[in-house]
């Protein structure tokens, strides 16, 4: 019998403009995981490309929620954090990881705070150092290149990158604390984009690329991270999970591009869910092969 992984997803709810919890929930569910949520804020839309959005910070609600969970004795098989609404929330989430992870359960921190060289509208300059402190707790982090530059306190460089510098960035990010790093938005040629993956235990670096489609499609970081964590939860190795996530995210971008949808509303990942789910939950014989290569417990 298959035992479902119970994953805690800590993100905001953006009511419109698919990102954070509105993508993490369906994708992790399609991967066969039980998903518990801790909403960090409620916004009328996400903050990238809409004017006049509302923002209700839920930091004040978290202690009561955690108190109830403590009374229930809850523990999670993985904790996956994304958009966090305040500096205080960073500290609360750091403590939550210590208290609510099951023994050996990984903490996966997507340090959502910036893209395209710019910090998101809702954050001040004190946020990146706070996020770097949370990353120290993580087993796996998934920054984009702008977030990586902020975490490492170095300038952001536009355009394609070179392999040596990317590999140095991966190692330095790992020195912040996490054993595993997935750097997104990596591109060594104008035609392709993808991610670089580093595992400190083996000192191995891998890449997953696909064809580039121009445009800053919103919420793709959350689609990618959710698909990757869903694959890890199903016993795929880190590099296999990265390949699954790149394929899933690129399919979503391609459909959105072909449909000509406004990019701020997010990508059409929904029509890729059935295929993703089939790839995540194949027959039991194949699954046992995967277990040999690595799984969520080994992040
Ligand atoms: O997808 C990242 C994200 C999540 N949540 C909110 C955001 C953003 C990016 O802009 O604004 C509220």
- What is the structure's pLDDT at 208? 98
First to last CA, the chain: 23
**CA atoms 113, 117, 122, 123: torsion sign:** positive
Ligand 1: which of 11, 19, 40, 51 to mutate, most ligand atoms within 8 Å of CB? Answer: 19
Find the 96 Cα to ligand 1 centroid distance in Å: 21
- What is the structure's pLDDT at 169? 97
Find the 183 Cα to ligand 1 centroid distance in Å: 18
- What is the structure's pLDDT at 2? 75
Please tell me the total number of residues recorded for the chain in this structure: 299
Ligand 1: which of 49, 120, 216 to mutate, most ligand atoms within 8 Å of CB? Answer: 120
Ligand 1 closest atom vs CA 82: 4
- The token duo for 182 is 């997935």
The rounded distance, in Å, linking the Cα atoms of 166 and 183 is: 9
Q: What is the pLDDT along the chain (299 residues), one digit of tens a residue?
A: 678 999 999 999 999 999 999 999 999 999 999 999 999 999 999 999 999 999 999 999 999 999 999 999 999 999 999 999 899 999 999 999 999 999 999 999 999 999 999 999 889 999 999 999 999 999 999 999 999 999 999 999 988 889 999 999 999 999 999 999 999 999 999 999 999 999 999 999 999 999 999 888 999 999 999 999 999 999 999 999 999 999 999 999 999 999 999 999 999 999 999 999 999 996 666 655 565 444 565 55
**Cβ of 19 below 6 Å from ligand 1:** yes
Find the 298 Cα to ligand 1 centroid distance in Å: 29
- The token duo for 88 is 């205080």
- What is the structure's pLDDT at 294? 45
**Cβ of 199 below 6 Å from ligand 1:** no
**Cβ of 237 below 6 Å from ligand 1:** no
Candidates 91, 102, 165, 168; CA nearest to 134 is 91
Find the 95 Cα to ligand 1 centroid distance in Å: 23
- What is the structure's pLDDT at 159? 83
Q: Provide DSSP, 119-138.
A: E-TT--TTHHHHHHHHHTT-
Give me Rg for the CA atoms of the chain: 18
- What is the structure's pLDDT at 121? 83
| CATH entry 3.40.1190.20 includes domain 6-298 | yes
**Cβ of 44 below 6 Å from ligand 1:** no
Find the 264 Cα to ligand 1 centroid distance in Å: 11
Let me know: does 183 contact 172? Beta carbons within 8 Å: no
3-state SS, residue 212: coil
**Cβ of 47 below 6 Å from ligand 1:** yes
Protein residue with its CA nearest to atom 2 in ligand 1: 219
Domains of the chain, residue spans: 6-298
DSSP 8-state code for residue 32: T
The rounded distance, in Å, linking the Cα atoms of 109 and 99 is: 16
Q: Which distant-in-sequence residues (6+ apart) come within 8 Å of 282 by Cβ?
A: none
- What is the structure's pLDDT at 257? 97
Find the 72 Cα to ligand 1 centroid distance in Å: 31
**Cβ of 221 below 6 Å from ligand 1:** yes
Find the 13 Cα to ligand 1 centroid distance in Å: 9
Find the 48 Cα to ligand 1 centroid distance in Å: 7
Helices 87-100 and 62-72, packing angle to 10 deg? 0
**Cβ of 142 below 6 Å from ligand 1:** no
Protein residue with its CA nearest to atom 1 in ligand 1: 219
Name all contacts of 242-248 with Cβ < 8 Å and 24+ positions apart.
Answer: 242/182, 242/195, 242/197, 242/206, 242/208, 243/208, 244/276, 244/279, 244/280, 245/195, 245/208, 246/194, 246/195, 246/208, 246/209, 246/210, 247/210, 248/27, 248/223, 248/224, 248/272, 248/276
């Amino acid at each position: 019998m298959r035992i479902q992984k119970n994953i805690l997803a800590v993100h905001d709810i953006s009511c419109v403009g698919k990102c954070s919890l509105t993508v993490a929930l369906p994708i992790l569910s399609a991967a066969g995981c039980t998903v518990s949520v801790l909403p960090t804020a409620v916004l009328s839309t996400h903050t990238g490309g809409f004017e006049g959005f509302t923002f209700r910070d839920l930091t004040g609600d978290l202690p009561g929620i955690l108190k109830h969970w403590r009374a229930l004795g809850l523990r999670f098989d993985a904790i996956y954090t994304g958009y966090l609404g305040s500096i205080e929330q960073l500290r609360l989430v750091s403590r939550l990881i210590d208290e609510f992870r099951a023994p050996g359960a990984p903490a996966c921190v997507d340090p959502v705070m910036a893209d395209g060289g710019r910090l998101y509208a809702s954050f001040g300059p004190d946020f990146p150092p706070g996020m770097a402190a949370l990353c120290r707790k993580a087993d796996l982090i998934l920054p984009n290149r702008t977030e990586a530059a902020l975490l490492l306190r170095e300038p952001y460089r536009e355009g394609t990158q070179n392999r040596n510098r990317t590999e140095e960035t991966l190692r330095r990010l790992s020195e912040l604390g996490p054993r595993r790093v997935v750097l997104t938005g990596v591109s060594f040629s104008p035609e392709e984009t993808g991610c670089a993956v580093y595992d400190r235990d083996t000192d191995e670096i891998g890449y997953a690329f696909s064809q580039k489609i121009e445009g800053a499609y919103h919420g793709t970081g959350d689609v990618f991270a959710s698909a990757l964590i869903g694959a890890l939860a199903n016993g795929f190795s880190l590099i296999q999970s990265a390949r699954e996530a790149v394929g899933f995210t690129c399919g979503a971008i391609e459909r959105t591009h072909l449909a000509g949808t406004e990019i701020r509303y997010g990508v059409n990942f929904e029509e890729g869910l059935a295929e993703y789910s089939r790839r995540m939950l194949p027959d039991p014989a194949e699954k046992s092969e995967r277990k040999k290569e690595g799984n969520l417990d080994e992040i």
